[in-house]
Amino acid sequence: MLSCQKPKIRFEISKQEIVECGNFELGNIYIINDSINKNGFFIEPQVYLKWAGVTKAPYSISLNNIPSSYQIYKDDKIVDNYKLMNNTSYTISQSVSGKSTFSIRVWTNEKGKIYKTSHNNCNNSISIDMK
């Protein structure tokens, strides 16, 4: 019964992919750089990936090659592409209408590739914002 289930995501480091653990499509994804500057402001605006395709949204998204059917919003403007910054951490959240948001944390290396995640498998059912 899908109505009782909650969205849950993980990050596949080897493929650099956000992966949905259940039966929810990845239609709305938020990416927030956790780093702040000396004035206490985020160093990068929140990024929002919104599925705009005619087919169903996928169950995984490669951050190296975001599918063209996603609209990428940064500062409420649509941008052509998005790359993660070097040496920082991000909170990635999945939003599904009528369900609680599920969030994970990832860390990037000096090349902007994710090398560590709070959720590398589907066994961890606790969102980082619930800890």
Residue-wise pLDDT tens digits, 84-97: 999 999 999 998 88
Token duo for residue 31: 């990416």
Q: What's the whole-number mean pLDDT along residues 62-87?
A: 94
Q: pTM of the full predicted structure? A: 0.90
Instruction: Yes or no: say if 30 and 46 are a contact pair by the CB < 8 Å rule.
Output: yes
Residue 1 has pLDDT above 70, yes or no: no
CA separation for the pair 117, 46 (Å, rounded): 19
Separation of first and last alpha carbons in the chain: 26
Angle (CA) 36-120-83 rounded to 5° is 45
Domain boundaries, the chain: 9-117
pLDDT at 108: 97
Tokens 């902007």 correspond to: 112
Backbone angles phi, psi at 129, to 5 degrees: -80, 0
